[in-house]
Amino acid sequence: MTPSNAIELRGLRKVYAARGSEPEKVALKGLDLDIPTGSIFGLLGPNGAGKSTTINILAGLVNKTSGSVRIWGFDQDVNPRQSRAAIGVVPQELNLDPFFAPRAALEVQAGLYGVPKAERRTDAILEAVGLLDKAEAYARTLSGGMRRRLLIAKALVHAPQILVLDEPTAGVDIELRQMLWAYVRELNAAGTTIILTTHYLEEAEEMCDRIGIINHGELVVTEETGTLLQQLDAKTLVITPESPVDNLPSEQGKIRIDMRPDGACAFSYRRSETGAEEVLDLARSLGISIRDVASEDPDLEDVFMALTTSKT
């Protein structure tokens, strides 16, 4: 049966022992996290928050100190082979053997996972990531973008139910980024659960249907992306005047006023305290003849900064 959660973490804790002059480091502080099956889940957090440690534990590269990890319904301690087979990880580092061609690299990877030759989809995967014409080229001759695609291909050879993408578009151009996201959406539509870490918050906002934010080894929040964006109370009305205005106060009551370079006036306020009609009345009282009005809601960067800075 397909589990309701692709990943379930309970009380996940990781402590790195003291080394030399470096003190003991607690990377994860009892993390509880559910990642729904079929979702594109964004795992976000500042540098050192614990994202990489979490991913490395899922991948079996780092041993947890305590807690439990279930991957596709399999307990990592009880069924390590089944849990490992359910997940494919695309690392941030371009760690490829420079003397392997893409076709050979995928064949070796499939062999490591015990995929029978008759069931291997090497050429189909290479075609899907746009590398079929480079199937026999040494990895060292591939561009950075091609190497990134090859890493994704390697993670897919055993047809995992879960694909983890760790900063997959770091340092790649816009065209490749769009190609990668188109392919990720295809994988997700076919049933693959995607876990994404990224520093490009607009990317997470566009791609992810659910987001978890980690800070200092703790889960700050996990929520549907749309609901998360609604958590901030901030709102801005941008008013374009009929004629230029100046000498506006920077603040009026609970409303902040900023002049923008294009001549528009930005009125920022809290929705729980002030209504849009009150803002418009204020603009008129300040002598502004209104030509156009646009509203601006907070984006994921605003939410991210509000949640992580409040936890430091």
pLDDT in tens, 41-60: 999 988 888 999 999 999 99
SS3 content of the chain, % helix, strand, coil (to 5): 30, 30, 40
Q: Is there a contact between 266 and 253 (Cβ–Cβ < 8 Å)? A: no
* The two structure tokens encoding residue 207: 């791609």
Task: Give the integer Cα–Cα distance in Å for 8 and 72.
Answer: 8
- Burial per residue of 12-28, b for 16 or more beta-carbon CB atoms within 10 angstroms, e otherwise: bebeeeeeeeeeeeebb
State the average pLDDT over residues 96-121. 93
Full-model pTM = 0.78
What DSSP line would sit under 33-76, residue for residue? EEEETT-EEEEE--TTSSHHHHHHHHTTSS--SEEEEEETTEET
- The mean pLDDT of 258-287, rounded to a whole number, is 92
Question: Where does the pLDDT of residue 203 fall: very low under 50, low under 70, confident under 90, or very high at 90 and above?
Answer: confident
Distance CA 95, CA 93 (A): 6
Report the candidate in 35, 57, 54 with the shortest Cα–Cα distance to residue 45.
Answer: 54
Q: In the chain, pLDDT over 90 holds for what percent of residues?
A: 64
Q: Residue 96 is encoded by which pair of tokens? A: 């490829």
Give the CA count within 13 Å in the CB-facing half-sphere of 169.
Answer: 22
